[in-house]
């Protein structure tokens, strides 16, 4: 019995603490008053002068060391295979596009001596491992080996592309 009265007294003290203040209807979670927002109309922005960019420097077809540029190799391959440059550098995965793309990447790596990331950049922003895969693919290796026997030491991408298409067309 004593225990029950003790529990009631503790509950009464917890529910009615001696230092409690009267609730006057103030909600502390609510903002005390709404601040009116004044919308200022800003003047229209002044026209900014457009920067005058210089004309891009054209990439030569052949550099001083006698090596062709990457775009000239891609142009030669796209003309030889009859594929537009947009498709050669695009995202298509059809065999009719992928094989010439692999051959173009392998030929660019062989003739230009440029790095794999730079060739990938010119071939539609591809990763360097994609270019490495293209250089190691069997059809690109076979086409370059057969063309190398016919062409010899030439660095002309048009001659290489023509030799590759002759080999490529004879295989299919």
CA pair distance 136, 144, nearest whole angstrom: 11
For residue 102, pLDDT over 80 is answered with yes
Could you tell me the two tokens for 65? 């060391």
**Mean pLDDT, the chain, whole residue set:** 83
Give SS3 for 50.
coil
Q: Are the C-beta atoms of residues 69 and 60 closer than 8 Å to each other? A: yes
pLDDT grade, residue 106 (50/70/90)?
Answer: very high
Predicted confidence (pLDDT) per residue in 127-142, tens digit: 999 999 999 999 899 9
Predicted confidence (pLDDT) per residue in 29-52, tens digit: 666 566 666 677 777 888 887 766
Higher pLDDT, 7 or 59: 7
Could you tell me the two tokens for 70? 């990457």
Give SS3 for 16.
coil
Q: Are the C-beta atoms of residues 123 and 105 closer than 8 Å to each other? A: yes
The pLDDT of residue 29 is 63
The pLDDT of residue 49 is 76
The pLDDT of residue 118 is 94
Q: What is the pTM of this model?
A: 0.64
Among residues 23, 168, 17, the alpha carbon closest in space to that of 83 is found at 168
CA pair distance 131, 65, nearest whole angstrom: 23
| Fold of the 70-171 domain | Chromosomal Replication Initiator Protein Dnaa; Chain: A; (1.10.1750)
């Amino acid at each position: 019995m004593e225990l029950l009265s003790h529990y009631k007294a503790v509950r009464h003290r917890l529910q009615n603490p001696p230092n409690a203040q009267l609730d006057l209807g103030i909600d502390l979670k609510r903002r005390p008053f709404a601040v009116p927002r004044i919308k200022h109309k800003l003047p229209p922005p002044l026209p900014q002068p457009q920067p005058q960019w210089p004309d891009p420097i054209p990439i030569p077809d052949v550099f001083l060391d006698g090596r062709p540029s990457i775009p000239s190799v891609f142009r030669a391959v796209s003309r030889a295979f009859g594929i537009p440059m947009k498709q050669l550098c695009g995202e298509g995965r059809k065999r009719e596009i992928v094989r010439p793309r692999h051959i173009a990447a392998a030929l660019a790596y062989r003739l230009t001596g440029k790095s794999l990331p730079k060739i990938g950049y010119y071939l539609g922003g591809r990763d360097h491992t994609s270019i490495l895969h293209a250089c190691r693919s069997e059809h690109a290796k076979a086409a370059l080996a057969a063309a190398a026997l016919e062409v010899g030491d030439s660095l002309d991408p048009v001659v290489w592309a023509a030799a590759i298409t002759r080999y490529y067309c004879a295989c299919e």
